[in-house]
Amino acid sequence: MTNVFNKNVCSSIVAGFLSAAVSAGALAHGGGLDSHGCHRDSSAGNYHCHHGPLAGQSFPSKAVALKVLSGSANKSGATLISGGNQPNKKGLPHSYDRSQYLSSWLDTDGDCRDTREEVLVRQSLVPVTFKTNRKCDVVRGEWRDPYSGKTFTNPSRLDIDHLVPLAEVDRSGGSEWSTRRKHEYANDTRHRWTLIAVYLGENRSKGGSDPANWMPRNSKFACEYLERWVTVKNQWHLSMDQRELEFIQEGLSKCP
């Protein structure tokens, strides 16, 4: 697969994440700062701090930030995302409900093909064969899974993977999204890299992991995977924690 990314552009985006410490939504925005050196960032939908003890951090709300200041919440320096019952990698308790994002694929344009079928059609290396003349359900094509490097002709062997998994999206700011925006992400065919047809075994091995915890077995795809990850997170104004950022920065530094 040809690498269509400009490494310098991608590195600049990563640098933007690093300079903001963790918040992709803080790459560029204005607004007056309050007495804590922070403000409500309407573009990213969070409370972001530029100066003071919380500089570089983003929070779901000012109330959460004030809890951190008072010492009643995590002070690790990671982005703080709203919580639930289980600890997440960002440092706070976290509860994730996949059905809030995707209970079933949607047919967003009303052409009888849901998101899964749309991705199969777009990413097949040859014209696909449909089950009926209505051309709704794909039964054959040719797909190269970049995670394993293998080629498949039967779509039943494939999953449609969210390159940035739904659980990771939820940990990284998506938990604050409206239901509509969650559905838009889960069925996003507008952005090129959000969804990808991959061998189902690879997708299920990946689960909800970020690159610091899972990388494709196909090492030839490693650089492009990291670049796509950064692109998708930037497009959707999602945060990165420090370990994730450092892993990606180190990985990209080794790319040609």
Phi-psi sector, 237: left (phi>0), alpha (psi -120 to 50), beta: left
Decide the pairing of beta strands 58-59 and 46-49.
Answer: antiparallel
Q: Does position 52 have pLDDT exceeding 50, yes or no? A: yes
Domain boundary assignment for the chain = 7-253
Q: Rounded CA gap, 86 and 96, in Å?
A: 9
Percent of the chain predicted with pLDDT > 70: 70
Tens of pLDDT along 184-231? Answer: 999 999 999 999 999 999 999 999 999 999 999 999 999 999 999 999
What's the pLDDT at 29? 46
Alpha helices in 45-192, H assignment, sequence order:
62-70, 115-123, 166-171, 179-186
Token pair of 153 as six digits:
């002709």
For 106-147, how does the pLDDT look when each residue is reduced to its tens digit (9 = 90+)? 999 999 999 999 999 999 999 999 999 999 999 999 999 999
Distance (Å, whole) CA 10 – CA 204: 27
What's the distance, Cα to Cα, between the start and end of the chain in Å?
15
